[in-house]
Amino acid sequence: MHDIKAIRENPEAFDAAMSRRGLSGVSSGLLALDADRRAKIAAAEEAKAEQNKASKEVGAAKAKGDEAEFERLRALVADKKAEIARLNDEAKEEDARLAEMLMALPNVLYDDVPVGADENDNVEIHRWGTPATFDFTPKEHYELAGVVQGMDFEAGAKISGARFVVLKGAVARIHRALAQFMLDTHVDKHGLTEAITPVMVREEMMYGTGQLPKFGEDSYKTTNGWWLIPTAEVTLTNLVNGETVNEADLPMRYAAHTQCFRSEAGSAGRDTAGMLRQHQFEKVEMVSIVHPDDSEAEHTRMTTQAQNILEALNLPYRTVKLCDGDMGFGMKRTHDIEVWLPGQDKYREISSVSTAGDYQARRMNARFKPKDGGKPEFVHTLNGSGLAVGRCLIAVLENGQNADGSVTLPEVLSRYLNGKLTLTADGQLA
C-alpha cells in the first residue's frame, strides 16, 4: 500500500514509478478523491465549530426571552449536526474507496531493477556448480525407474483431480528428509526461528501481504470465508499485523514448513507433466521483519541462505534479478534462484527471494518503536523460499540419476535416511 501524503507531495515521481508497472496517470484519480475527502473533513470541522458557537448562543437567547432567536439557533444546531454526520459519512466512504484504490496498486520498484518485458530479460547475477554430463540421455523425474512407483499421479488424480500427486515409500521419505534438512539448516546455521503456522487464514491476512484484492483467483477460499495459504509468507509476515514492536526486537527472522495451495489460474497448459506445478505442495518459507536501514543487507542474506541449501545438496543453480516486466505485484526487487534440471536441460525456478520495503507493513499497519523514543515507523518485510520442497525433490532425483534408473542421493541427507543414499531402480532405499 502506498502513502497518499507522499503521492500528494510528488505525483510525478509516483506516476513514473507506476509507469514501470504498465500503469499511466494513476495519481490524478487518487488525488482528486483525496482532495474531495479532505474537503469534506474540513467542512465537517467548520460545521462543528458553527454548531458549537450556536449551542452557546442558544442559552443566551433563551435567557433574554428572544423566542424567535432561540428557535432559529436551535434549528441551526440541528441542521449542523445533520450536516456533520453527512459529511463524515461521505468522507468515510471516500476514505474506504481511496484505500481500496491504493490496495490495488503494485509496489514501487527499486531503481536497480532491470528494464525488460518478461523472464527473458532477467539478469543473471550469480552462478554456482557445473551441470553434470551423462553418458546416457537424462530423464525427467517422473520417468525414472526408481521413482515411478513412488510418485503416483493416477492416485492423485482419482482422489483430487489434475495437478495432484501421491508420494509413497522411499520417494515420500526423501521428500520428508529434504524438508527436515532445510529446516535444520535454517534454524541451526542461519539463526531463523522455526514456526508452525495455520494453513487457513482470515481474509484480512491475505490483504496484508498483497494476495488480495488483485489475485484472489490464484488462491482457494473456503465456504466459510477462510483462505488456504499460497505460501507461509502470509502467516509469518502477518505475525506483526497491527503490532508496534520494539526496535530492539528487530530483526525477526522466521522459517516454516507448510502445505501451500495455488489454483495456478494463470498457468493453464504449463508444466502439466510431473510434479513441477501442483495445486498442493510443500515449501519451507523464510520471512524477515527488519529495520528499514537493514533491509538491503537482509535481502542479500536471505538470498545466500536459499543458495546455501542448494550448495549443500550439490545442485547447480543460477540466481537472476527479475526485470520489471517479470516482477511480482507486491515486491520492490526479487532474486529468483533457478536449479539445473537435466531432464529438461534447463534451469527452473526453485526459490524467489523478495523485498517488499514498507509496502506490506503499511497494509498491515506493522510498525516499530524507535529506541530513541521517536514516532513509530513502518518495518520492512522480506520473504523467500528456502526451498520449494517438491521442486527440490525433482532436482535431487534428476541430478543424481543413473543409467539404470536408480538415483544417488546427496551426502547431507544421510542422517535423515539412516545412511541410505541410493534410491534403487526398484524404488527402495539402500
Residues tagged active-site: 262, 277, 349, 352, 391
Q: In what order do the strands lie in the sheet with 244-246?
A: 244-246, 367-369, 377-378
**CA-based radius of gyration for the chain:** 28
Residues 211, 219: Cα–Cα separation, whole Å = 8
Residues 319, 322: Cα–Cα separation, whole Å = 10
Structural element, H or E, at residue 173: helix 169-188
Residues whose CB is less than 8 angstroms from the CB of residue 345 and which lie 6 or more positions away in sequence, other chains included:
138
DSSP assignment of 29-41 equals: HHHHHHHHHHHHH
Structural element, H or E, at residue 288: strand 280-290
DSSP assignment of 109-139 equals: PPTTSPP-SSGGG-EEEEEES-PPP-SS-PP
Q: Interior CA angle at 134 toward 129 and 138, to 5°?
A: 100
CB 256, CB 236: distance < 8 Å: yes
